Each structure stands twice: as structure tokens, then as C-alpha cells.
Amino acid sequence: MKILVIDDEELVRKSLARACRARGFQVLEASGGAEGQELWENESPDLVFLDVLMPDLNGPKVIENLQGKITSKIVLMSAYTGGYDLNKAKSLGADLFIPKPFENIFEIVQVAEALVVGK
Amino acid sequence: MNKEAAAILINGDVSPSKKKLLDHIYGLFELSEIKEPQQLLNIHPLTSKYVFVSLGANFLKNNIWEEWSKKSSRAMRYIFLLESFDSKEVASLINNLEPLAVLGPNSTVQELNEILNMSRESARDSVKSRETLEKVKQQNRQLEILNQNLEALVRDRTRDIEVSKNQIELKVKKVRQLVSFVKSLSTVRKIEDLLTIIRNEIKKAYGKGEAFLACDTGEYGPWILHFQRGETATVQTKNRWNTGVKLRINDRKDQQYLANTFSRPFGRVVAFPLQSKATDSRDVVLFVEHQLSLEQVDAFIDYMGERLQSLSLALDRSLLEVDLKRASFLWESTFDSIDDPIAIYNKDHELIRSNKAFSEIIETVQKDKSFSSELIDTCIEKRVSVSRSFRAEQRFFDAHCDPILFHDDDRASSVVVHFVDVTNYKNLQSTMIQNEKMSAVGHLAGNIAHELNNPLTGIRSLCQVLIAEHSRREQVVNDLKEVEKAASRSQKIINNLLSFSQSATGSELKRVDLNQLLQMTLPLLKSVTSEHRRHFKFHEKEVLVKVEPHLTQQVIFNLINNACQAMGQEPGDLEVKICVQDNFAKFSVRDSGPGVSEELGSGIFEPFVTTKSKVGGTGLGLSMSQRVIRSMGGEIGFDSKLGKGACFWFQLPLDGETQ
């Protein structure tokens, strides 16, 4: 499985990537919205971990830009629980919403995996 | 020519010389002949001027001559024609009669004529002198009459003067009395003194009589001022006396009224209504109980009448004085009842008047030198209202200075300074500012929290990954676990900060056992508390409270953490206790640290108040704890003395069936 992690926070990105690789998945990383969007378009990953708030292009914007061009499962992540919840995420086009902080990173990976597998 | 009348008596013989004389005499006079000497008595001097008596040598010697000489009038002029002078009888006759002339035998006609002329002259003279005498007598009489009249006049006048003098003296005495009365009235200030003067005046003039001053001032109802045992006393009456503008003499109703009011029999009473110009709504009557007869009463009324006007004036003054005092008192009480300090200054910065409230801040005002110059001077110069703020100890004021102007173009003579107490307003303002700040901080905190969440998430996630990747290296794994825990704790703190700043009630209240809550929190505090001697006292039974568990844990964490921080590096005593007190669950943490100074007091719960700035206290712990506990219906507090440690506690209402 090909996974794309788009998050401007390095530690989050790295740990998510390593946790996924430990599960044997191929992981691509992008540190910003623009970079992420490009990679997404070119690599067509099965699953994308997408952070909402990013300095250049934010998550929802990326989804919007790639409307119709992608078929990946999207997991939206955010520290701002106030503005977003599952319904909102879905309305934006995401499949799952995970609030930060993560209690257990491996659980996150499991949930995401289940999403893809249960396709 | 008419001959003059004369009388002649021829007695005895007539010598020839005598005959010649006689013939002459007959020729001169109309003679009436007298035969008898007795007839001489019948001759009236007016009818016969002369009486010729011719006596012969031997004239009759009998008493008739004696009688005749005695009875004869002096006015008769006797001319004796004698034969001789020798006779003794002739001599005595002549002595008695004092004749005009005595002619002897040899007297000639010439001599007779001379004598007659002389007598005529002397008669004329005597007539003249008689006339003059008469005149003089008359004049004398007239003078006497005049004199008498004058004397009478003088007597009368003197009497009149005496009378007027007496009258004047009387009048003067009366006027003096009146003047002294009016003088004594002029010094009267109180109504009681007025009555005393009236009473004395009456006693002075009449010895007896009682005076009563009945006054209906409207405000307090009718009252009567009277004398009782040597002092004035007031009696409040229910009924009013008879009103009237006119004087009432011995009116039965007045007598009855006074008898009823004073519960004693009353003698006859005269009522003097006292007209008062300034007090037209008032009814004042002077009653005088007297024992005068009807005749005396008139004089008494006149006597009083002279005094009534000055009485009314003095009464006016006293009543006005009473009014003035009352008004002054009312004004003063009103002035003093005003909570805001008010002071009136003149242009020389002297305090003219001030109210009670001002006395509380007067010292502070007087110490502030710029106060007078800035506020008062500006106000007076510019004749406008000037304001500035003023602080007296813990109170804040806005001092408004307004000028008192009498004429539009003059400088103000004085100013009124009104200190409006704005302490509450200022406090409210600062609270609001504080709230705004808090709100802003809250916002800020919210943002920071979110920002921090990101890296913390990263730290935790990476730790978890590393733990998984190096699962065989126990030491490393343990260390990583600690790191992860620390990060996790940090996140919890941040989340609490978030909920504090949002003050959202999203958190649900749950029924939990406080004992358990403490139990759950202790592991987090292991490192902090390890240094000190720990005593944990749980309540033997469940202590059920309805709380937001996470927040309550945070409070517990805060308090214990603070206690340990206070004790610092030196091992101290930490006592954590949960108990039940009057339907409240009580949680307390006692430390043996330096204690909290009383100065801090309840201010310790203010946000941003911290004694831990070196150690990194944010000063939010206690304020947040207070907020949290209060929002759950509880209260938080502390007991401490400097040097004797501190005990922080909170209590929460028990939920339902805790025993």
C-alpha cells in the first residue's frame, strides 16, 4: 500500500511515516500543501494523511484542487477540534477525521489501514 | 356871678368893724342864717363851703359847742369872727375845730379877702390834691386789681405747670417703662424668654396675672407655652383655642378652654391676638389670666396695647429664629446625609463649609498641594466647572469644582467641590479590563495551546515509534516512555489551559468518588512528591461528588504540586486529606513550607499571581482551580501563617447518598 503523509510538523510526519513503514507500507512525505498536492497527483497513493492547517496551502484547499482527480482515502488531521469534526471532514471530501494529539500512533495506523482494506 | 353858699351864725353883739366884715361877707356869699348853734350840725359841707361864726363877747357857753365841735366835719371851714381872743372857751373851741381863720375885732376886709383867697387856693389845692389822691387811689386800686389778677394768673399758671409737670413725669415714667420693655424684647432670641419678659412686665405693673402664649405653627400642632414652677414649659394641645383677630375680654370660652387644657379652674382671661406679618399661616394668642375689676381691665388693656406691637415683632423674630434653626438643621442633616464628600472653598482656599462625608478625606485633600492651585484657582479664574481625579487611600473620586457666581461678570467668590465616589466604577472598570485581558489571554492561550499541540503530538508519536523500533533495549525504552509521559502530561496541561480559556461547559459532570480521583492523580505526582514525607488520608467511605473528573484532577494536581514546590528542595511534610464535613467533601493539602503571607490573602487566587516565577509557575494554577471548583458549586481556600506552612483546601457539595 502506498501512503502519503502531508503535514508541516516534522515529528508528526516522521513518526507517522515510520509507524506506517514498520507495518510494511510505502510512505511518501510532503511538508506542505503545495508539495503534497503535487506528489498526490503524481503518485496516486491509496491513503493520504492530510493535516488541515499548513502555512502554504491548507488541507481542504488541497482536496478542492484535486477534486475529481484522485481516488485515495483521505484521513484529515487537526489540532483544532473546535472547527472540525467528522461531518465537516466528510463534507470536505475526507473519509476520516482524527483529532490531534494522538494517544497512540499505532492505533491511528490501524484505523487508517482498516479504512483502505475495508474498501 | 353865682355867689357861693355859706352859713353864718351870729351870736352876740356885733361891733361896727365886724359889721363891715359882715356886710362884705353878705356881699360875697349867699348866706343861710343859722340862729342856733345846734343847727350848725345840720350843715353839710357841700351846701355851705364856709361857716361864719360870729361870736360876741359873751357867747353861749353850753355843751352844744362841745358836741358840735366833736361832731363837726373837718371839711367845714369855719371862720370865726370874734370880739376878743382871751376867752378860755374860745381857745378850746378853736382847738377842737381848727377853724380856717379867726378874725378879731380889728380884722379888716382885706384880711378877710386874703383869708378867703388863701382858703380858696388851699381848697383848690386840696381839691386838686384830693382829685390827685383819688386818681392815685384809683390807680392804686387798679394796680391792686391788676396785681391780684397777675397773682391769680401766676398762681394758675404755676398750678398748671405743676399739673403738667406731674403729668409729664407720669408720662415719662410710662415711656421709660415702655422703652425698657422694648429694650428687653430686643435681646430676646427664644420664645421662652419672650414669655418670661411678658410675665415680668405684667407682674411689675399689676402684681398678679398669669401669661400664656398659645401658638399654632402648623407643623407640630397647637401648643401653649406657660410657666410652671418658675420655668417655661410647653404643652401640646389637641384642640385649638378660639381664633379671632380681635381682642377678647373675659370671654367665657377662652376661660373654659384654658381650664380644660390645664385641668384647673381659671379666672377671667383676656385674649390678645398677636398679629404676625411673617407668619400669616400662624395663629398666636397671648392669654392673660387676671384678677382685675372691670374698671382696671380697661387700663390694663391700654397698658398691654402699648406693648402689643413690639411683642408681635419680637415674636416674629423668635418664631423666625425657630424656623431658621429648624431649616438650618434640616439643611445640615441633608448636607451631611449626602454620601459624596462636598466642600465649599472661598477664593483664598479657605474651607467655608463641608459635610460629614468630607471629613473622611479632608486630610488627604489638605496634603495635596496641587489640589488647591489646579482645581480651585482655575475654577475661580475661568469661572467654569473644572474636574480632576482624586484618590484618598482606597477610594477614587472625580472631583468636580463648580464656581459660585453672583454676577455674570465677576470673578467667582467661592467654589463648591463635589467628590463623586467612583471607586466602584473604577473597580468595575478594572475588573472589566481584567476580564478583557483574561479574554484576550484566553484567546491567546487558545492559540498557543493549539500551536503547542502540534509539536507535542509529534514528540509523543515519535516516542511511541521509537519504543516500538527499539523494543529490546530496555533502558532506552524506559527513558522513551518517560519522555512520552512527560509529553502526554504537557498535552493534558495544555488541554486544561484550553478549557480554562474557553470557559466552555462542554465538559460533562460525572459522579465520582473523590478518593478514587486522588488515587488516579497521585502517579502523576510521583516525582514531585518523592522528596518529602507523605501522609495520605483517604476518607474511609466513598466520597461521591458530581464533578468534571479531568478538571478536578487538575486541581488536585495543582494543589499538591504547589505544596511540594513551596517546600522546595528540603524534605518537608506533605499531608493530603479527604474528609466529609457537613454535607461537603473536603480535600486539603498541608505543607511545611514557608507559608503564605497574609498580605496576599485572597489575591493569591488572582490570575498571574505567582510566587514561583523562577521555577516556572505561570500563575494560572490557582486561579484556574478556583474557577473550576466554583463552577462545580464548591469553594476553595487556604489557611496559612508566615513561617508555619500552608494548608490549601477545597470543598465540594456531596452528591446524593454519601454517608
Chain B residue numbers touching A11 (CB-CB < 8 A): 455, 457-459, 461-462
Judge contact between B251 and B273, C-beta under 8 A. no
CA neighbor of A72 nearest in space, from A46, A36, A92, A39: A46
Q: What's the order of all strands across the beta sheet hosting A73-78?
A: A26-30, A2-6, A47-51, A73-78, A96-99
Residue A48 has a pLDDT of 92
Closest in A16, A22, A79 to B461, CB measured: A16
Q: Which residues pair with B103 in a beta bridge?
A: B81
Residue B24 has a pLDDT of 83
Using beta carbons and an 8 Å cutoff, which residues of B are at the interface with A?
A: 450, 453-462, 464-465, 468-469, 491
Interface touch B454/A100, C-beta < 8 Å: yes
Chain A residue numbers touching B465 (CB-CB < 8 A): 14-15, 18-19, 22, 105
CA distance A65 to A89: 16
Interface touch B458/A22, C-beta < 8 Å: no
Return the residue in A9, A10, A11 with the most chain B beta carbons within 10 A, the one to mutate for interface testing. A11
Q: Which residues pair with B640 in a beta bridge?
A: B646
Chain A residue numbers touching B455 (CB-CB < 8 A): 9, 11
Return the residue in A104, A105, A110 with the most chain B beta carbons within 10 A, the one to mutate for interface testing. A105
Residue B61 has a pLDDT of 59
Residue B404 has a pLDDT of 84
Residue B60 has a pLDDT of 54
Interface touch B454/A105, C-beta < 8 Å: no
Interface touch B454/A12, C-beta < 8 Å: yes
Interface touch A101/B491, C-beta < 8 Å: yes
Residue B504 has a pLDDT of 45
Q: What is the pLDDT along chain A (119 residues), one digit of tens a residue?
A: 899 999 988 888 998 999 999 888 999 999 998 999 999 999 989 999 998 888 888 888 888 888 888 888 899 888 765 555 667 777 778 888 888 878 888 888 888 888 888 75
Interface touch A106/B491, C-beta < 8 Å: no
Beta strands A96-99 and A73-78: pairing type?
A: parallel
Judge contact between B585 and B658, C-beta under 8 A. yes
Residue type, A37: Q
Distance from CA of A99 to the nearest CA of B (A): 10
Closest in A18, A79, A105 to B454, CB measured: A79
Distance from CA of B523 to the nearest CA of A (A): 18
CA neighbor of B574 nearest in space, from B559, B590, B558: B590
Chain A residue numbers touching B450 (CB-CB < 8 A): 79-80
CA distance B401 to B406: 16
Residue B318 has a pLDDT of 81
CA distance B351 to B417: 10
| Residues 6+ positions from B466 with CB-CB distance below 8 Å | B476, B480
Distance from CA of A101 to the nearest CA of B (A): 5
Residue B652 has a pLDDT of 92
Q: Is B27 helix (H, G, I), strand (E, B) or coil?
A: helix
Distance from CA of A94 to the nearest CA of B (A): 20
Rama region for B367: left / alpha / beta (φ>0; ψ in -120 to 50; rest): alpha
pTM for the structure as a whole:
0.40
| Residues 6+ positions from B420 with CB-CB distance below 8 Å | B340, B397, B398, B399, B400
Residue B659 has a pLDDT of 46
Interface touch B455/A100, C-beta < 8 Å: no
Return the residue in B451, B452, B459, B465 with the most chain A beta carbons within 10 A, the one to mutate for interface testing. B465
Q: Which residues pair with B269 in a beta bridge?
A: B289
Interface touch A11/B464, C-beta < 8 Å: no
At residue A55, φ and ψ (nearest 5 deg) are -60, -40
The owner of cell 483517604 is B538
Distance from CA of B452 to the nearest CA of A (A): 9
| Residue ranges in chain B modelled with pLDDT below 50 | 504-506, 613-619, 658-659
Closest in A14, A22, A100 to B468, CB measured: A22
Residue B500 has a pLDDT of 59
CA neighbor of B235 nearest in space, from B227, B246, B244: B227
| Residues 6+ positions from A73 with CB-CB distance below 8 Å | A46, A47, A48, A95, A96, A112, A115, A116, A119
Interface touch A9/B454, C-beta < 8 Å: yes
Residue A81 has a pLDDT of 58
Residue B612 has a pLDDT of 54
Is A2-114 a CATH 1.10.420.10 domain?
Answer: no
Domain residue ranges of chain A, discontinuous segments joined by +:
2-114
Chain A residue numbers touching B460 (CB-CB < 8 A): 101-102, 105
H/E element, B68: helix B63-71
Residue B29 has a pLDDT of 83
Residue B243 has a pLDDT of 75
- pLDDT digits 0-9 by tens, B275-295: 766 555 567 888 888 888 888
CA distance A32 to A13: 11
Q: Is B286 helix (H, G, I), strand (E, B) or coil?
A: strand
Distance from CA of A68 to the nearest CA of B (A): 30
Interface touch A18/B455, C-beta < 8 Å: no
Return the residue in B451, B457, B466, B490 with the most chain A beta carbons within 10 A, the one to mutate for interface testing. B457
CA distance A39 to A37: 6
Distance from CA of B488 to the nearest CA of A (A): 8
**Interchain contact A55–B (C-beta under 8 A):** no
CA distance B218 to B283: 9
Residue B616 has a pLDDT of 43
At residue B275, φ and ψ (nearest 5 deg) are -70, 135
